[in-house]
Amino acid sequence: MIKAQLEEVRFQISEAAKKVGRDPKEITLIAVSKTYPSSAIEEAILEGCLDFGENHVQELCQKIEEISEPVNWHLIGHLQTNKVKYIVGKTQLIHSLDRLKLAEEIERQSEKKNIITKVLLEVNVANEASKHGFKLEEVMNAVEQISQMKHIKVEGLMTVAPFVENPEDNRTIFRKLYGLSVDIQNQKFDNISTSILSMGMSNDYKIAIEEGATMIRVGTAIFGNRDYSKA
Ligand SMILES: *Cc1c(COP(=O)(O)O)cnc(C)c1O
């Protein structure tokens, strides 16, 4: 089942990219494996998946132990400051940098380990009370401050769009995140890249690709519905 679903998602990625004249190779598919067992990850690895996204530090650390293949691990969920020490050095990318206090802790822990941690700034584009992330108007100041931190490298922006019945309704959200990334690029901050735009999930990744996503985070469309009772 994972094989067939992956084929379908890859086909849709390529169709969405072609529709707007983009090269599908510009888009990295992150298989969101939260709540699924490591056996599902192994299955996806056999089908050529290299990037996996997890929400919780503990679950991520456990899966890193269980999976021996050298895959890229992405932390995509809210990160508590006191958990940073467990995760720094283990991720390809942290997508959910959503406050300056967290940046300071990632800086501190990365300095201790003498590494540079790659992050995306999470932006709450729709300004939803239930969501984490910088407000649109806070991002520029945050970027400026984080650009001073020597052990953090900002690689771009991420957003979790609202859940909507019609994915078209999220098009303006994705367009705003893209616009913000262009604005940041134009400021020419030191030590800041805007090359990654992490946006789009199972429900709306095709629209996100049309609006410039370079990473999409897809769980259910690959692995099926999640069973939270076992999580
Ligand atoms: C769970 C999750 C996803 C994947 O959601 P699906 O709808 O299953 O594709 C993507 N991003 C984040 C931040 C998530 O928490």
Q: Is 47 exposed, middle or buried (0-12, 13-18, 19+ CB in 10 A)?
A: middle
Cα(206) to centroid(ligand 1), Å = 14
pLDDT in tens, the chain (231 residues): 999 999 999 999 999 999 999 999 999 999 999 999 999 999 999 999 999 999 999 999 999 999 999 999 999 999 999 999 999 999 999 999 999 999 999 999 999 999 999 999 999 999 999 999 999 999 999 999 999 999 999 999 999 999 999 999 999 999 999 999 999 999 999 999 999 999 999 999 999 999 999 999 999 999 999 877 754
Q: Which residue of 9, 30, 32 sits with most ligand 1 atoms within 8 Å of its CB, as the best mutation to test the pocket?
A: 32
Give distance in angstroms: CA of 122 to centre of ligand 1.
14
Q: Count other C-beta atoms under 10 Å from residue 79's C-beta.
A: 26
pTM passes above 0.85: yes
Ligand 1 atom closest to Cα of residue 160: 13
* Ligand 1, atom 6, residue with closest C-alpha: 219
Amino acid at 142: A
Tell me, in angstroms, the distance from the centre of ligand 1 to residue 187's CA: 31
Crossing angle, helix 171-187 and helix 139-146, to 10 degrees? 40
